[in-house]
């Protein structure tokens, strides 16, 4: 969130003075709108194959946790124009964790599944992070 052209914006920052991570993008109650690039690999120069759009909200009052409401859409290849809907808590303090895939569009019509995440890099203060996703879905 500290890049020259950030792709995540803190749009709601309530004046809550107790709780954890006060003053950071992950402070309890914050709402962030994102349009983040999805790349094939962790290198920034890696091919962009889509984007993740939606909201995340900092919902852990006593420990760091987000609830995410994201659509992962593809702009290249076999799944161009299709997307999956991801909605669940995201316990960001765990390096490896799982999110729920609750639906999809296009080739992911009626998809259900999980996204397994692994944090490669995170900086709570700046709000920058690099996270690897492995998504498994059943679709029709």
Site residues (vs a copy of itself, CB under 8 A): 5, 7, 9-12, 14, 16, 18, 28-29, 31, 33-35, 53-55, 57-62, 65, 67, 69-71, 73, 83, 85, 87-89, 98-106, 108-110, 112-114, 138
Name the residue among 4, 6, 23 with its Cα closest to residue 15.
23
Contacts of 31 (CB under 8 A, 6+ apart): 10, 11, 12, 55, 56, 57, 58
């Amino acid at each position: 969130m500290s890049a020259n052209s950030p792709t995540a914006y803190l749009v709601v920052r309530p004046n809550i003075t107790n709780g954890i991570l006060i003053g950071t993008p992950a402070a309890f109650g914050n709402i962030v709108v994102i349009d983040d690039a999805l790349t094939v690999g962790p290198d920034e120069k890696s091919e962009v194959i889509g984007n993740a759009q939606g909201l995340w909200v900092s919902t852990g009052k006593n420990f760091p946790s987000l609830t995410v409401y994201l659509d992962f859409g593809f702009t290249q290849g076999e799944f161009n124009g299709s997307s999956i809907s991801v909605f669940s808590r995201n316990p960001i303090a765990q390096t490896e964790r799982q999110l729920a895939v609750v639906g999809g569009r296009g080739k992911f019509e009626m998809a259900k599944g999980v996204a397994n995440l692994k944090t490669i890099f995170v900086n709570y203060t700046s709000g920058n992070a690099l996270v690897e996703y492995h998504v498994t879905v059943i679709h029709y």
